[in-house]
């Protein structure tokens, strides 16, 4: 099975990906909901990290380090670094504090110094706020943001014609790698007769609010 389909199956099995009727921040009624915060035990978080590592490897992106924006990116960047090291790719990682520390080592960055090409790690991209802040921090340190990796690309329009992922790619000229996308979710639903009741609703939502796959 393709790793993207394995990831969708895993997320559904952990109840991280749910189906029904959920109100989004934009006020839309979505037929599915993805909450990466529910990968909340050691085994689940470790498996999630393996999926991230696979997606990073599959993308072919070159980077010198990993960065996780506070707060959700902090555990993610640590476990992804471990998963990549186990796969033979040992990378330094760092994350930021929300408030700079004025004693001890000081500063707002914890972990390895930001240097070279830095890959940003996050769960999803909604408004793109954490990506913007991460890009600013990385550039301020003299390093270069080279991409973003997330768990799920909803492929959904924001206020304009582009999705949040497409806006990040346009604004910062960096790729966004997703472990899986809405297209992958639909592929999963079509292959599972036991989920047929949800396929129509998700496809309808895709037609109404979706965008084309990001290049």
Quick one: DSSP state of residue 212? P
Quick one: DSSP state of residue 27? S
Nearest of 109, 107, 61 to residue 84 by alpha carbon: 61
| 72 catalytic residue (yes or no) | no
The token pair at 144 is 């270069």
Helices 73-86 & 42-59, crossing angle to 10 degrees? Answer: 70
Q: Exposed/middle/buried for 160, CB within 10 Å: 0-12, 13-18, 19+? A: exposed
| 23 catalytic residue (yes or no) | no
**Coil/strand/helix, residue 72:** coil
Known catalytic residues?
101, 103
């Amino acid at each position: 099975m393709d790793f993207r389909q394995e990831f969708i199956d895993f997320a559904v099995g952990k109840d991280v990906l749910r189906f029904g009727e959920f109100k989004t921040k934009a006020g839309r009624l979505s037929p599915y909901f993805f909450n990466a915060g529910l990968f909340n035990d050691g085994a689940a978080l470790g498996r999630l990290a393996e999926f991230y590592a696979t997606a990073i490897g599959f993308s072919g992106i070159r980077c010198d380090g990993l960065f996780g924006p506070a707060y959700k990116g902090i555990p993610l960047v640590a476990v992804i670094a471990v998963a990549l090291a186990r796969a033979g790719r040992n990378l330094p990682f760092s994350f930021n504090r929300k408030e700079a520390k004025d004693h001890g080592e000081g500063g707002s960055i914890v972990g390895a110094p930001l240097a070279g090409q830095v890959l940003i790690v996050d769960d999803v991209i909604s408004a793109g706020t954490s990506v913007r802040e991460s890009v600013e921090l990385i550039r301020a340190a003299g390093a270069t943001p080279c991409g973003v990796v997330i768990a799920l690309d909803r492929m959904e329009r924001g206020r304009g014609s582009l999705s949040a992922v497409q806006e990040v790619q346009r604004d910062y000229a960096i790729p966004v790698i997703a472990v899986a996308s809405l297209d992958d979710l639909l592929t999963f639903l079509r292959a599972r007769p036991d989920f047929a009741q949800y396929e129509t609703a998700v496809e309808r939502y895709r037609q109404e609010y979706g965008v084309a796959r990001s290049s």
